[in-house]
């Protein structure tokens, strides 16, 4: 027997299960309770090492981040920009309230670096999948601090059912140069979001150069595939087989490039 322990192989099987029949979420709802109830309904038992991926929309709804545009008074800056990009000035006011820098704009679209550091269209503000009427239009803003939202749910799960699970909050985002949205992590707790494998050896014993893998974004993308975008109504997915990424985390900010290493922040 060797005295050197062989490291356990990483799991080769990943399973993503979208919870069905979730109820509508309203401001102030107990999201952890709703998720635990949905797990029971879906005959699923959460186990240590699972990752619970939650769509940003239901986090935002539960946290009361839905605003009626009729209650928004646009600033002169918002009115001017709204005209330029052909959007509702009240919506533009909400976008600007979330924005650190405007990265790009064109009719129908404002891409911003938001105050959280995310670079995304319309500061992630959405008008789909929330109750709407022509006279009372609504807009849903991102959570104020999605890492904290994730942490709260992770700790409640731990307290209520004594399971160590990671929590990721994901949102569909467009990308530079590539078409279509992909799920990205906008908040997380209890997961290693970026694996820093610098120093690991490749198959030929050569040191891997600069390989950092955005594990949490790969999981967010996989979960997004199962959640769907339109009328599927599956805003929570359980990811099984990724327990090696459970651990302390700096939150989603570890997924953001620092400004001095970013070659594409030209604003």
Interacting positions 123-182 with its own copies (CB under 8 A): 127-132, 172, 175-182
Point out which span in 14-22, 27-35, 72-80, 156-164 binds its own copies (CB under 8 A): 14-22
Judged by CB under 8 A, the chain residues 184 through 213 that form the site for its own copies are: 184, 193-195, 197, 200-204, 206, 208-209, 211-213
- Interface pick for its own copies out of 242, 243, 249, 251 (rule CB under 8 A): 242
Whole-angstrom Cα distance, residue 172 to residue 188? 15
Q: What are phi and psi of 83, to 5 degrees?
A: -65, -45
The CB density around residue 199, as the number of other CB atoms within 10 Å, is: 9
Residue 173 three-state SS: strand
The b/e string for 221-257 (b: 16+ C-beta within 10 A; e otherwise) is bbbbebbeeeeeebbbbbbbebbebbeebebbebbbe
Among 16, 36, 91, 141, contact with its own copies (rule: CB under 8 A): 16
| Closer Cβ to its own copies, 131 or 158, answer by number | 131
Taking the least distance from each CB to its own copies, the nearer of 160 and 201 is 201
Encoded tokens for 55: 């769509």
Tell me the closest approach of the beta carbon of residue 36 to its own copies, in angstroms: 18
Which residue, 162 or 261, is less far from its own copies as judged by CB?
261
Cα(227)–Cα(216) distance, integer angstroms: 16
Among 222, 243, 249, 251, binds its own copies (CB under 8 A): 222
Please identify, using beta-carbon distances, which residue of 86 and 262 lies nearer to its own copies: 262
């Amino acid at each position: 027997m060797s005295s050197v322990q062989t490291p356990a192989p990483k799991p080769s099987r990943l399973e993503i299960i979208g919870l069905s029949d979730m109820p509508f979420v309203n401001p102030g709802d107990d999201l952890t309770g709703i998720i635990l109830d949905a797990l029971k309904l879906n005959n699923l038992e959460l186990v240590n090492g699972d990752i619970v991926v939650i769509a940003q929309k239901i986090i935002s709804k539960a946290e009361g981040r839905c605003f009626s545009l009729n209650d928004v008074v646009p600033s002169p800056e918002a009115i001017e920009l709204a005209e330029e990009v052909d959007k509702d000035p009240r919506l533009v006011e909400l976008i600007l309230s979330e924005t650190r820098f405007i990265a790009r704009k064109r009719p129908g679209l404002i891409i911003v670096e938001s105050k959280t550091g995310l670079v995304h269209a319309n500061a992630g503000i959405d008008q789909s999948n929330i109750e709407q009427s022509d006279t009372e239009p609504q807009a849903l803003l991102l959570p104020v601090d999605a890492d904290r939202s994730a942490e709260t749910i992770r700790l409640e799960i731990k307290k209520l059912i004594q399971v160590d699970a990671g929590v990721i909050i994901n949102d569909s985002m467009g990308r530079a140069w590539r078409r279509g949205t992909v799920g990205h992590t906008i908040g997380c707790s209890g997961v290693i979001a970026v694996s820093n494998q610098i120093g690991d050896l490749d198959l030929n014993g050569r040191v891997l150069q600069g390989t950092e893998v955005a594990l949490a974004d790969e999981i967010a993308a996989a979960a997004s595939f199962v959640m769907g975008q339109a009328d599927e109504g599956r805003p929570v997915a359980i990811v099984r087989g990724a327990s090696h990424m459970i651990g302390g985390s700096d939150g989603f900010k570890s997924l953001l490039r620092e400004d001095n290493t970013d070659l594409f922040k030209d604003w």
